[in-house]
Amino acid sequence: MKVQSTRGGQEIPALNAVLQGIASDGGLFVPETFPPIDLDEAKQCAEKSYSDLCGYVLSLFFDLGREDLSALARSAYAGFDTPDTVPLRPLPENEYVMELTHGPTLAFKDMALQVLPRLTQAALEKEDTEENILVLTATSGDTGKAAMAGFMDVSRTAIFVFYPDKGVAEMQRLQMVTQKGDNTGVCAVRGNFDDAQTGVKRLFASPQFRDAARSAGWTPSSANSINFGRLVPQIAYYVYAYAKLLADGKLGDGETVNCCVPTGNFGNILAAYYARRMGIPIGRLVCASNSNNVLTDFFRSGSYNAGRPFHKTMSPSMDILISSNLERFLYEMCGRDSAMVRAWMQALSETGTYAVPADMLPAMQELIWADWLSEEETAQIIRDVFNSLGYLMDPHTAVAQGVCLKYRSATGDRRPMITVSTANPYKFPQDVLHALTDSWVEEPFAAARELSELTGTQIPPQIAELQQLPVLHDGVTDRDTMGDAVLRFLGRVKK
C-alpha cells in the first residue's frame, strides 16, 4: 500500500516510508486508505499466537508477503518474557489491563521497536540499495533504550539517541548508558525532551548535516514514534486484544470496547484510532495525561497551547508538550485537508499554539475523551490498586487507570475498558515505593529491593543486571552541537 504525507507533498510505498521516517515536506506519512480487518481471520490468528495476528496486520500495509511478515513478528517477539506476548489481565468491573511491558526493555516501546529494525532490513533488501541507515532518535526515557535494543548489531544500520539530561528516570538512564553494540551511541542534551526532539528535527532539516552524514556513507532516518513502521505494529495489539477477548468469549459479537491510553506523543492512542478505522468495534478513546496536560486542554477547548510550564513528573515518558502524532489525527479530523494541517503546524512552530475550527470539535470529542492526573492522584492509584487487588502498576499505567475511573464516573459509560499498561514498575522503583510507603529511598537498586520485599514481586533481570554493567556512554551536549556528536560517533562506527 501507499502512504501519503499529512502536508500533501509526497506519496510513496509504505515500506519506503519505514526507511525515510519523516516526509520530505516535513509531514508525517499516513495510509492512503484504512484497510479493513477481517474479524474472523483476526480471531483465528489471535487463537494461534500474537505473532500470527501481528503478521496479518503488517501484511495489510507492507508488500512483503504474509508468511514472511509472520516470521518477522515471531523473531521480533521471541525475546518476550511471557509466551502470550501481550497478556490481558482482567480487573473488576469489565476492565482489562493490556500489558505491553514484557519485552527486553520493559516498556511498550518494544512492541514497535523490535519490529522496526527487521522491517528496515527487509526494506533495504527489497530496494536493493547500497544505503546504510543512520537512525536518529530523541527519547523521553523509553524509546532510546528500546530502539538501541532493537537495532543493536543489525547490519547496515547505526543508531544514535539523545535524551534530556536530568529528564529521564535513573533506571531509564542506566539502561541507555550501559548499552552495548558497535553501532549504538547515546548522548545527553542539556534541556528537556522537547529540546532534544526539536534538536533532532533540526538535524533532519539541515542540508549541511545530511550532506556530512551522506558523505560518511549514512542516510539519516528516524525511529521516533512518527515513523510509519512503528505505528503499524501498535495497531496490531489493539486488534489482538479485541480478537482475543472475542475468542475467549469475554465479548459478544459486535460488542464495543473503550480504550484508555497513557499518552505522550500520541502514537499509542493513534494506533487505537487506526484500529477503529479498520473496523475494530472500539467506542471511546480515553486520552490520559499527567500534569503536562496540554492534550486534555486541547480536546476540551479545541486550542492547542504548548506555551506553558513544563512539569517533571514520575511518568517521564509522558512529559511532553508537543505531541507529534496528533498531526495524523488532525489530518483525518479535517477531512485530509493538508493545507489546513500545514497552517496549524506552522502556527505551532512559530507561536506554540493553534486552534481548530469550532465545528471540528464535536466530532473529535465523540472519539476522544481526555483528562489528567496530578502526582498525588497517581500515587494514590498505585497504592489503591495494590492494596485492593495486589496488582502493582507503574506510574504511567496508574495515570491511565486513574483517568479510566474519572471517565467512568463522569460519563456513566460502563462498556468494557482496555486499559493500556506501558511500563514495568521496576523502571521507577523510587516513585512506586514512595507511592506505597510514603518513604523516599534515593538509591534506585535499594528501592527496587525494598519494593520487591514489600510486594512479593520479582525484580526483572534486565533491571537487576544494570547495577553491574559498565557505563559506556557519558557524553553531554548542547542543543546547538548535537550534529557534531553524531558525526563524531559515525567516525567510530564500522560499516
Taking the C-alpha atoms of residue 70 and residue 212, their distance in angstroms, rounded to an integer, is 37
Could you say whether residue 70 binds ligand PLP (CB under 6 A)? no
Q: Give yes or no for a contact between 195 and 490, defined as CB atoms under 8 angstroms apart.
A: no
DSSP string, 212-257: HHHHTT-EEEE-STTSHHHHHHHHHHHHHHHHHHHHTTSS-TT--E
DSSP string, 349-403: HHHSEEE--GGGHHHHHHHEEEEE--HHHHHHHHHHHHHHH-----HHHHHHHHH
Judged by CB under 6 A, the stretch of 64-72, 101-109, 406-414, 481-489 that binds ligand PLP is: 101-109
Could you say whether residue 274 binds ligand PLP (CB under 6 A)? no
Could you say whether residue 263 binds ligand PLP (CB under 6 A)? yes
Options 160, 193, 266, 344; binder of ligand PLP; rule CB under 6 A: 266
Q: Give yes or no for a contact between 451 and 178, defined as CB atoms under 8 angstroms apart.
A: no
HSE-CB at 102 with a 13 A cutoff on CA atoms is: 17
Least distance to ligand PLP from the beta carbon of 83, Å?
Answer: 23
Q: Which of 2, 43, 48, 109 is catalytic?
A: 109
Options 342, 396, 408, 434; binder of ligand PLP; rule CB under 6 A: 396
Could you say whether residue 118 binds ligand PLP (CB under 6 A)? no
Judged by CB under 6 A, the stretch of 14-22, 49-57, 102-110, 446-454 that binds ligand PLP is: 102-110
Task: Return the beta strands (E) in 233-359 as ranges.
Answer: 257-262, 282-289, 303-305, 353-355
x/- map, 207-246, ligand PLP, by CB under 6 A: ------------------x---------------------
Give the cell for residue 36. Answer: 479493513
Q: Give yes or no for a contact between 120 and 441, defined as CB atoms under 8 angstroms apart.
A: no
Judged by CB under 6 A, the stretch of 107-115, 116-124, 276-284, 487-495 that binds ligand PLP is: 107-115
* Residue 12 parent element (H or E): strand 11-13
Least distance to ligand PLP from the beta carbon of 404, Å?
Answer: 15
> How many residues bind to ligand PLP according to rule CB under 6 A?
17
Could you say whether residue 378 binds ligand PLP (CB under 6 A)? no
Least distance to ligand PLP from the beta carbon of 396, Å?
Answer: 4
Amino acid at 234: Q
Active site residue 109: yes
Phi-psi region of 45 (alpha: psi -120 to 50; beta: other; left: phi over 0): alpha
Least distance to ligand PLP from the beta carbon of 294, Å?
Answer: 12
Greatest distance between any 2 Cα atoms in the chain: 60
* Residue 99 parent element (H or E): strand 95-99
Options 178, 317, 378, 419; binder of ligand PLP; rule CB under 6 A: 317
Could you say whether residue 421 binds ligand PLP (CB under 6 A)? no
Q: Give yes or no for a contact between 447 and 433, defined as CB atoms under 8 angstroms apart.
A: yes
Judged by CB under 6 A, the stretch of 258-266, 339-347, 375-383, 479-487 that binds ligand PLP is: 258-266
Options 280, 318, 404, 405; binder of ligand PLP; rule CB under 6 A: 318
Binding residues for ligand PLP, rule: CB under 6 A, are 107-109, 142, 225, 262-268, 317-318, 396, 422-423
Q: Which residues are catalytic?
A: 109
